[in-house]
A and B are shown apart, each in its own frame.
Chain A
Amino acid sequence: MTFTLAYALTGLFWLGAALLSLGLVRRAALWRQGRAAPVALGWLMTIPKRYFVDLHHVVARDPFIAKAHVAVAGGAVAVLALAALNYGLMLYLPALDALMLLAALLMLFGAVLVRSRRKAPPARLSKGAWNRLPKSLLAFAVGSALAALLALSGNAFGAAAQGLALLALAGLVLGGAELALGVGLGGPMKHAVAGLLHLAFHPRQDRFSGDKRSTDLKPINLVGKDYGVETPADFAWNRLLSFDACVQCGKCEAACPAYAAGQPLNPKKLIQDMVTGMAAGSGPAYAGNPHPGQAGKVRQGNPHQPIVGGLLDPETLWSCTTCRACVEECPMLIEHVDTVVSLRRHVTLTRGEVPGKGREALANLRDTDTVGGYPLAARYHWAIDLNVPVLLPGEHTDWLLMAGEGAFDMRYQRALRALVKVLKAAGLKVAVLGEVEPDCGDLARRLGDEATFQQLAGKMMNTLGRYRFNRIVTPDPHLFHCLKNEYPVLGGRYDVEHHSQVLADLLERGAVPLKADAAPLPATTYHDPCYLGRYNGETDAPRRVFKGIGIKVVEMERSGRKGRCCGWGGGASFTDIPGERRIPDMRMDDIRATGAEQVAVACPNCTAMLEGVVGPRPEVVELAELVAARLAN
């Protein structure tokens, strides 16, 4: 009897393996519709490290599910490996059966945990096929445990053995089908295979190299007429693969400010829309939250049909603030922002259909090198009485202060003046570029206008090349990010620091003369700019500044790398897609929740967005203003 079961298991194993391979070939054919991408097969060797370090690093933020996943996936992999050895190769060794029993029990434990999470699932989780998955896992775990037990027990079960054997087989068939057929049919278990391959062939290999954050948008070859992504087939094949890795956990959805504001963007649904397009709608129906305001809309897609207008409303695309909260949270390391920007690029470059004030801003950038259409000569008007030298070719300065677009904003000019005062008090040799400083192109790039970005970047690098300075300091995290992370591939390498970093160092060195007696300071909280915190990992420097001037910060629940966007980024304040709420209002509610009387900011755009919140609210103060207020006279 046991031997019949053993043979059945061998048959089942190879049947499953064959089906899985067929499914994989089928799925791979979908991925292969994409454009070529430079990859190396050797990258497959990186999977274990990336899985256990990089991926687990994200999953571990939710310890419960991390534990459950380790148990269920570890157990399942062990069961499969042992089954391959023992039954696939027909060894039929009892020792391996014993190990398989242990592995199956581990998996069973995990599956029970996973199932319990589904009892009262958080709203972000998808239902449908994803609700079925824990049951399939249970079936498989029970089936394999039973099969191992039967193999070990000899004839101990007597007459019951036959019934139990059938039960075991049923469990293995039902549960095994989830994996064997799931990959080919696009079921939930495709995440295991696609997820592992995605780790190897991730489009951003530099994400895994040490502590370098890979947050820069990659240039496209405009001369070669690469105008971004129009149809699913325009994505590189490893991007298509990455979409298949999504486990619909909705972590991105829960973090997305646009989603929370009721704007028509749900990052999870966005990724699933891409899957629908790639697979031409075959596969289980999406059973998660829709893009807000679009419940019940059924959309068809096709690998060779334009995405925007078909699968996606343009409003969905333009709601994104490129804040990277979704990317930060995604356990499968999927790159939502790259996806959004690739699609935007096509719309902007080929049709120019940027909504709201976006079009005007881009025209201004092309015509005047400023977002607001200001005369360049006015950029440093606020510094006219501060005696800041304008750098001339041939002269040299230690620090080049670049004010960016915030220089045209009357509110932010106060912050800039404060910054100059502090830098001067600390004895730094600072100069500005005056009227030759163009825009860095950040906004153009996020709005998908890569042509204008590359043009502005060229202009900026050209300009900077004519001057001699040691380092650049800027209070604008967007300018900072562009100079630091996005110019190097274009050939511009600069030593650039955010003003929070410079201020923190100065304070720690005791270089800023401070007033001795600090008047009691109002309770203060700090809003992390996305382009400083998440894009550059710099959450520490601003807090060091607060420490340096004796301010104790009341942290918001969502702060640091988990900070919530102010709503400006990615040109979202220009495209201004209507929602039910405004993102800066929600952020102000976060601020109010701390009970702080003032909120410190470290970015001209956060300043503008938060200052724009109407009604009674905490004061908005810039980091540099706080330091300047403590300056000794």
Chain B
Amino acid sequence: MSTPMLKVAVLVAPAIHPVSGRPCTHPADSAALALGLKLAGSSERLTVLYAGAAADEALAGYLAQGASCVTVLPTAEDADIAPLLAAQIADAELVLCGTRAGGGQGSALLPYQLAEELEAPLLPDALSVAIKGGSVEIEQFLPKGQRRSLAAALPVVVTVHERAVPALPYSHARKEAGKVRRLMPVAAKAAEWRYEPAGRRARPLVAASRASGHERMLGAIAADDGKTTGLVVKQGDPVEKAQVLLDYLRDHQLVDF
């Protein structure tokens, strides 16, 4: 459900393809774009924005996925883009972006910085976004199939999970019809990153046993001689045997009933 006059901004950035290393669309940004297109209802009320140093072709994928125009804020590679983006989309009521960029620093911090700049709440990792009157309700992605509902009053920054909605299919005609509009380059101060040596070295995992996989397997499976940890149940009716299995599974917390 979209309120008729909602102004939506979607932030996108090219990702680096994991196999070829070429610029491509990022699934989470694509999902944000698809959501934005749905919620804004028309392309006039939708701003698709990118800040960075990528070439226009790197953004073509988003045009092919339905953005009629991608506005580019040309900045240096390491610029602190949150204030620039915030100035650009100050009038947007809903800001959507992927949870984490597939390129650049990819620190997933940008939405937080942006929310701070805009003085708007941030709803992270949305699987679905619904506009209810003046507020936004999202279903939040949590690991292991868990979900949580969050709501906040507009204006809001929402980061979108890549599985939220399928992106619009790639269309060559849309790509050709779409435009990349470059704004005047802005001088931005470089992001303030303080680099320091990592404190702790990653500790290699120590195997619990030095025995070979085959040996450990032999140890784990049951044999009649009783030397191994396994158990061979030959007595009893099927219910009793099943009980042994169930006890085992409960002991090892493999079932929780």
A: residues with CB less than 8 A from B are 222, 225, 227, 348-354, 359, 362-363, 366-369, 373-376, 449-452
Cross-chain contact A222 with B172 (CB below 8 angstroms): yes
Segment with Cβ contacts to A, from B14-22, B123-131, B187-195: B14-22
Given contacts A351-B169, A375-B20, 15 further A-B pairs with CB under 8 A are: A222-B172, A222-B176, A227-B173, A348-B171, A349-B172, A350-B171, A350-B172, A351-B171, A352-B168, A352-B170, A359-B169, A367-B17, A368-B17, A368-B19, A376-B20
Cross-chain contact B169 with A368 (CB below 8 angstroms): no
User: CB-CB contacts of B162-196 with A at 8 A, as 1s and 0s?
Assistant: 00000011111110100000000000000000000
Of B20, B22, B24, B170, which contacts A359 at CB under 8 A? B170
Chain B residue nearest in CB terms to A450: B172
Distance A348 CA – B171 CA, assembled complex (angstroms) = 7
Count of A-B contacts judged by CB separation below 8 Å: 51
With known contacts A367-B22, A367-B24, A349–B173 Cβ distance under 8 A: yes
Cross-chain contact B19 with A363 (CB below 8 angstroms): no
Q: Which chain A residues border B172 with CB–CB below 8 Å? A: 222, 227, 348-350, 352, 449-452
Chain A interface, DSSP helix/strand/loop, else mixed: helix
Closest CB of chain A to B37's CB: distance in Å? Answer: 14
With known contacts A225-B176, A367-B24, A354–B169 Cβ distance under 8 A: yes
Chain A residue nearest in CB terms to B20: A368
Distance A281 CA – B45 CA, assembled complex (angstroms) = 42
Distance A375 CA – B21 CA, assembled complex (angstroms) = 10
Q: How large is the interface on B (under 10, 10 to 19, 20 to 34, 35 or more residues)?
A: 10 to 19
Distance A586 CA – B181 CA, assembled complex (angstroms) = 54
Distance A15 CA – B19 CA, assembled complex (angstroms) = 73
Q: Which chain A residues border B174 with CB–CB below 8 Å? A: 350, 352
Of A222, A362, A368, A373, which contacts B170 at CB under 8 A? A362
Q: Which 7 A-B pairs have the closest CB atoms?
A: A352-B169, A451-B172, A352-B171, A350-B173, A368-B20, A349-B172, A352-B170
Closest CB of chain B to A594's CB: distance in Å? Answer: 42
What are some 10 contacts across the A-B interface (CB < 8 A)?
A: A222-B172, A227-B173, A349-B171, A352-B168, A352-B174, A354-B169, A362-B170, A367-B19, A368-B20, A376-B20
Distance A222 CA – B175 CA, assembled complex (angstroms) = 12
Q: Which chain B residues border A376 with CB–CB below 8 Å? A: 20
Chain A residue nearest in CB terms to B169: A352
Q: Which chain A residues border B171 with CB–CB below 8 Å? A: 348-352
B: residues with CB less than 8 A from A are 17, 19-20, 22, 24, 64, 168-174, 176
Q: Which chain B residues border A373 with CB–CB below 8 Å? A: 19
Cross-chain contact B169 with A375 (CB below 8 angstroms): no
Closest CB of chain B to A143's CB: distance in Å? Answer: 56
Cross-chain contact B19 with A375 (CB below 8 angstroms): yes
Distance A450 CA – B171 CA, assembled complex (angstroms) = 11
Chain A residue nearest in CB terms to B173: A350
Distance A449 CA – B173 CA, assembled complex (angstroms) = 11
Closest CB of chain A to B162's CB: distance in Å? Answer: 14
Q: Which chain A residues border B169 with CB–CB below 8 Å? A: 351-354, 359
Distance A557 CA – B64 CA, assembled complex (angstroms) = 47
Closest CB of chain B to A632's CB: distance in Å? Answer: 41
With known contacts A352-B64, A352-B168, A367–B20 Cβ distance under 8 A: yes
Distance A373 CA – B19 CA, assembled complex (angstroms) = 7
Distance A367 CA – B172 CA, assembled complex (angstroms) = 14
Closest CB of chain B to A320's CB: distance in Å? Answer: 20
Distance A356 CA – B172 CA, assembled complex (angstroms) = 19
Of A350, A367, A450, A451, most buried by chain B (CB within 10 Å of CB) is A367
Closest CB of chain A to B28's CB: distance in Å? Answer: 16
Distance A348 CA – B172 CA, assembled complex (angstroms) = 8
Closest CB of chain B to A443's CB: distance in Å? Answer: 15
With known contacts A352-B64, A352-B168, A374–B173 Cβ distance under 8 A: no
Q: Which chain A residues border B173 with CB–CB below 8 Å? A: 225, 227, 349-350
Q: Which chain A residues border B64 with CB–CB below 8 Å? A: 352
Q: Which chain B residues border A352 with CB–CB below 8 Å? A: 64, 168-172, 174
Chain B residue nearest in CB terms to A349: B172
Q: Which chain B residues border A227 with CB–CB below 8 Å? A: 172-173
Closest CB of chain B to A355's CB: distance in Å? Answer: 10
Distance A367 CA – B21 CA, assembled complex (angstroms) = 9
Of A222, A352, A359, most buried by chain B (CB within 10 Å of CB) is A352
Chain B residue nearest in CB terms to A346: B173
Chain B residue nearest in CB terms to A373: B19
Q: Which chain A residues border B19 with CB–CB below 8 Å? A: 367-368, 373-375
Q: Which chain B residues border A363 with CB–CB below 8 Å? A: 170
Closest CB of chain B to A623's CB: distance in Å? Answer: 31
Q: Which chain B residues border A450 with CB–CB below 8 Å? A: 172
Distance A349 CA – B174 CA, assembled complex (angstroms) = 8
Distance A115 CA – B29 CA, assembled complex (angstroms) = 66
Closest CB of chain A to B140's CB: distance in Å? Answer: 27
Q: Which chain B residues border A225 with CB–CB below 8 Å? A: 173, 176
Closest CB of chain A to B27's CB: distance in Å? Answer: 11
Q: Which chain B residues border A374 with CB–CB below 8 Å? A: 19
Q: Which chain A residues border B24 with CB–CB below 8 Å? A: 366-367
Q: Which chain A residues border B170 with CB–CB below 8 Å? A: 352, 359, 362-363, 366
Distance A461 CA – B169 CA, assembled complex (angstroms) = 28
Distance A375 CA – B17 CA, assembled complex (angstroms) = 11
Of B22, B171, B174, most buried by chain A (CB within 10 Å of CB) is B171
Chain A residue nearest in CB terms to B176: A225
Q: Which chain B residues border A366 with CB–CB below 8 Å? A: 24, 170
Of B17, B64, B170, B176, most buried by chain A (CB within 10 Å of CB) is B170
Distance A156 CA – B200 CA, assembled complex (angstroms) = 122
